[in-house]
Structure 1
């Protein structure tokens, strides 16, 4: 079984990915979020993380044997961009983590003229 961590898994895109993956017995799913929501899905553990603390995030990835990190962090501010960069650093330091899917979900692009 492959463990997948979904960063930003409490948002719309993250929840959609979480719901799809948890139905497949090939995957064990965890969620990384800035805070644990009051109403949560008991079948998927949610870990509150400070993306600026790369050591703690790395330990969470290692402790949960996370193979793949999927980022659904909305990259709309410099702080959110730094959060994803720090998540990449944590994933790179985590020995079981082999894949990282960067956040690029339906970003509007300018049309060609």
Structure 2
């Protein structure tokens, strides 16, 4: 992933935060809790860096990004088992099938915004 990817995400987060702060009449955002899937492709340090640059002079200037990890989970299409995928071993631990669908781990969303 490139820094441009994270900058685009940072700008989207900032836009949402700014809209919410206007709607809620908030003067300062202190913390933004993000839920990020293990396989979302987001580089957290790059996102923090990009957000710190993008948020300068805004309601979110100095706000801390707090990350909640969402594990990579899959459902076996053969037996219906739902399991955590570890080390990218993508086969069902119950029946061994490789026919799976992703249940979680690709997400990226704002869980909560803390304000003053």
Structure showing greater radius of gyration is: 2
- Calculate the TM-score normalised by the size of structure 2: 0.30
The structure whose RCO (Cα within 8 Å, separation 6+) is larger is: 2
Select the structure that is richer in helix.
Answer: 1
